[in-house]
A and B are shown apart, each in its own frame.
Chain A
Amino acid sequence: MLKRYLVIVVPFIFLYGCVNNIARQPAITLPANPITDTEAPAAQEGAILLPSRTSHNISAGGNDAVDQLLMSASEASINQQLARASALIERAVRLSPQDPRVYFSLAQVRFKENRSDQAYLLLKKSQSLVINDLQMLDAIKKFRASMK
């Protein structure tokens, strides 16, 4: 009788032994929230120089949008978020590829990233798009001088 009991009970003892692991979870990864927008005070060290826009470099629309992107990029630059600053300025390049300010801003970020060759080319590109904006030309020249 005892033997017959064992035949039935042994497998169930094994099954109950497995119950200990009941709290384990399947390997499903939950989405993380890696990127956070940080607020930064304006006009701080590290900000991007932004000469005011002039009538001749305004392309068809989107200037407020470009301004907003460049301001956000400047804030990111202040916070040393150079990759984010670069991404924001590149959005501005797509919106207004004839605007010399976008290349000038990107040149400043590239310089901070220690990519002087790209910074120099971007300054050159920016300068080639300026026609009669002396303030812009002056800003480019000063920045180029500061690179040396």
Chain B
Amino acid sequence: MNKVSKQIKTQKKVKRRGFLRRAISLLFTPLLIKFSIVVSLLLAAYLAYLDATITSGFDNKQWQLPARVYARPLELYEGLLISASEFEQELTDLGYERTNSARPGSYMRQGNNFTMSTRGHRFWDGVESPLRAKVSFSGRRLSQLRQIDNRSLALLRLEPMEIGAIYPQHNEDRIMVTINQAPPMLIAILLAVEDHRFYTHRGVSPVSIIRAAIQNFKSGAIVQGGSTITQQLVKNYYLTLEQSIGRKIKEALMALLLELHYDKEAILEAYINEVYLAQSDGHAIHGFGLASQHYFNKPLKELSVDQMALLVAVIRGPNYYNPWRHPERALARRNRILDLLGKQHLLTLDDVSWVKSQPLHLGKSSQSHYAFPAYIDLVKRQLRQVYSQNDLTSNGLKIYTSFNPRIQRSVEHAVTLGVNQLADDQLQAAVIVTQPKTAEVLALIGGKKFRYSGFNRALDANRSVGSTIKPFIYLAALEQPSKYSLATLIDDKEITIEHNNSFWSPRNYDRQDHGQVPMITALAKSYNQATVRLGDQLGIETVVDTLQRSGFDRTINPVPSLFIGTTQLSPWELIGLYQTVASGGYHVPLKAIRAVLDKDNQPLERFQFELQSGFDPKAVALVTRGLVHVTEQGSARFAKKRLPQGFTVAGKTGTSGELRDSWFAGFSGDMLAVVWLGHDDNSPTQLTGASGALPIWTTLFKSASRKSLSAHQVRGLNLHWVDLKTGQPAASFCSTAIELPFIVGSEPTGEKSCSL
């Protein structure tokens, strides 16, 4: 039995040896040699293909950089009208940290006194260097500005807040950083966590793969990856997210090739700009530069160690470790990373212990960076007149605007308050605020949901403007001082106008006739009959010409109902008309953009301050006086009641037929604003201009406007007392007397008297 079994075993061994011998001999048969050569050539061709992919992809990698949009930079100087709390809010918006440190982007506050270290910024007109300064406030005024060593400082420009971006179609977003701009500690943490053999391997680390495999086997799940940073970069750059052996082999081969072609620093720099780190408002955030702004609202170089550790922590799963949604997970992973840094002697154990005790130190939610879609919409429209879509979404342009975050906040507060009080779910709103002299757009909302993009009512809602058109009828008249002054009497009795074989008889809102009234009263009380009579006297062509010279550039239907505002204008068009009055008679085109720089900070375009000839400043001063009267004794006297005593504003209410639209347009010394309320389906709102738009406008100006309309004298005008009832000269003590400006030669003559 034993012999037999031995024989069988011996036969098996002989058979095995025979198989090996045959296999070895087969290896050298001509057929196999040919097959091997073919396979080698195919492999070589494949490697050549991968090599070409690697080199062309890496050399030509042009990250598509969205255009970044910035608010106006805050200019600090003694006398600036801003309170300490508003100033602190500006610093908070810019991500300044309240700390004892003197590093850029920090400040200290003691009461109304601040010590701050600015970051500096490169603007289109020069560099604003980082500076330490002392700033003091008294009430709503910046009272003292000094350098840290008490040397005088006339002007200090802070860096501008980023308010949005214009994205490419794939919605990737990043701020490019070079390897030298990245904090060394961040790189050290990254390598410690993701690839601590980075500087010794050649693209693939077998040791790491084996270690990860063992860990994963022990855990029964994939808990550790063996991919090097080079492999991760290859995966992000060139490959899909597919999980297969084939893809892993391809990834490893490409990583080897990448390391053959490029040095470690180049690979690391590409990685820190490519790595996916967050999703925000529909945009994928790549790279540490933007992630630092997203998570902490500050530049990368200002991050603390715990913040750097958190950035590296989220690489493993930006959604899973989202620190706002899952703070406990993010904190736990950050702390594991800090422990690792201790083990690798990058931090002392004491430091690890202290840093682990720190909270997450997140900035405000990144939504607030991109919270002004209606304003960004305006910026895009103005840019498209100059740049292609590709320029806007890919070339990293820097767009500097006149957006004022303080005023935007006030607009949003006023609209929220006003619309809530009106308790009408369907009610919509639009507001535009500009600087009255420069025509720069300071703030804008396109609907009552400020954070939603969509129909931008401020720019696109064409609605009947009602009586807000009337000042331009009076302006057309006051340009003829030989015929008209603010005291000229107009008959406010019923009027019928024939036009195109039909008859039109407008009535006053109160259905009353008011007899002979001075023009200033007709304007202030918004009398339809008097205004239509005046328009009829002037002629429709004269009124159309006045509107066009005020900046209206569409065709106007020359019908008499134009006199009381049946014409449909957008809030944007209406504020353009009022801009001409607010700027003193010069038409100044509205603009939101000041300048555009390319990604290398080279100035590309500056949108200059331009004047266009408009009207005689004297006639405009008279209309402005009439509009002040509207807010003091006319249809908008609510404003005078609510605004601080002595704070002068000018404006006009507007209500369209059947109460479909509620308007107010008006200005102070530093702000012009148009407010519109209405329903999108054009159904009646039950609101007049005075009951809907005016209270919102007043709330806005009470909180945001700092300069009263000055009683600026215009050469060629004289002041005279007249009787408001008769339009005749009056003594100043008469109860119905008012002091009005007149163009020299147009003042009423006769004896001064008081009407009874």
Interface residues of A (CB under 8 A from B): 1, 3-4, 6-7, 10-11, 14-15, 18-19, 21-37, 60-65, 67-69, 83-84, 86-88, 90-91, 93-95, 97-98, 106, 118, 121-122, 125, 128-131
Contact = CB atoms under 8 A, between A and B. Distances in A.
Contacts of B44: 10-11, 14
Nearest to A85: B125
Given A11-B43, A27-B58, A88-B125, 17 more contacts: A11-B44, A22-B263, A24-B261, A25-B262, A28-B273, A30-B178, A32-B600, A34-B603, A60-B81, A61-B79, A62-B80, A65-B155, A97-B436, A98-B712, A118-B610, A121-B611, A121-B612
Contacts, number: 174
Which 9 A-B pairs give the minimum distances between C-beta atoms? A61-B79, A97-B437, A65-B77, A87-B125, A65-B155, A64-B154, A7-B36, A32-B600, A121-B611
A128 B43 CA distance: 82
Given A18-B51, A26-B61, A87-B124, A62 B438 contact: no
B260 interface: yes
A35 B126 contact: yes
A86 B80 CA distance: 22
Nearest to B270: A26
Contacts of B503: none
B437 A34 contact: no
A123 to B, nearest CB: 10
Nearest to B599: A29
B438 A34 contact: no
A35 B155 contact: no
Nearest to A9: B40
B554 interface: no
A32 B602 contact: yes
A27 B584 contact: no
B714 interface: yes
Q: Which size bracket describes the interface of B in this complex? A: 35 or more
A130 B428 CA distance: 43
B47 interface: yes
Given A11-B43, A125-B584, A128-B715, A83 B263 contact: no
Contacts of A24: 55, 58-59, 261-262, 266
B435 to A, nearest CB: 7
Nearest to B396: A29
A62 B40 contact: no
Contact of B36 (A4, A69, A93): A4
Contacts of A129: 712
Contact of A7 (B37, B124, B435): B37
Contacts of B609: 90, 93, 106
Contacts of B123: 35
Contacts of A28: 176, 178, 269-270, 273
Interface string B238-276: 000000000000000000110011110010011001000
A35 B601 contact: yes
B127 A27 contact: no
A105 B599 CA distance: 31
A118 B611 contact: yes
Contacts of A61: 77-81, 141-142
A105 B402 CA distance: 22
Given A3-B28, A11-B40, A15-B47, A35 B75 contact: no
The A interface, classified by DSSP as helix, strand, loop or mixed, is: helix
B152 to A, nearest CB: 8
Given A27-B59, A34-B601, A34-B602, A65 B75 contact: yes
Interface-central residue, A1, A28, A130, by most chain B CB under 10 Å: A28
Given A34-B602, A84-B126, A87-B606, A64 B263 contact: no
A37 to B, nearest CB: 5
B422 interface: no
B62 interface: yes
A64 B715 contact: no
Interface in B112-160: 122-127, 141-142, 152, 154-155
23 contacts: A3-B36, A7-B40, A14-B44, A14-B47, A15-B260, A18-B261, A25-B266, A26-B59, A26-B61, A28-B269, A31-B599, A31-B601, A35-B123, A35-B125, A64-B77, A64-B154, A65-B78, A83-B603, A88-B125, A94-B438, A97-B435, A97-B436, A130-B715
Contacts of B260: 15, 18-19, 21-22
B60 interface: yes
Contacts of B599: 29, 31
Contact of A6 (B27, B37, B436): B37
B155 A27 contact: no
Given A22-B262, A64-B77, A97-B438, A121 B51 contact: no
Nearest to B27: A4
B385 interface: no
Contacts of B261: 18, 21-22, 24
Contacts of B436: 97
A141 B20 CA distance: 110
Contacts of A130: 715
B348 to A, nearest CB: 35
B200 interface: no
Contacts of B606: 83, 86-87
Interface-central residue, A30, A36, A90, by most chain B CB under 10 Å: A90
Given A21-B55, A98-B437, A91 B273 contact: no
B102 interface: no
A135 to B, nearest CB: 16
B295 interface: no
Contacts of A83: 603, 606
B33 interface: yes
Contacts of B713: 131
Contacts of A86: 606, 608
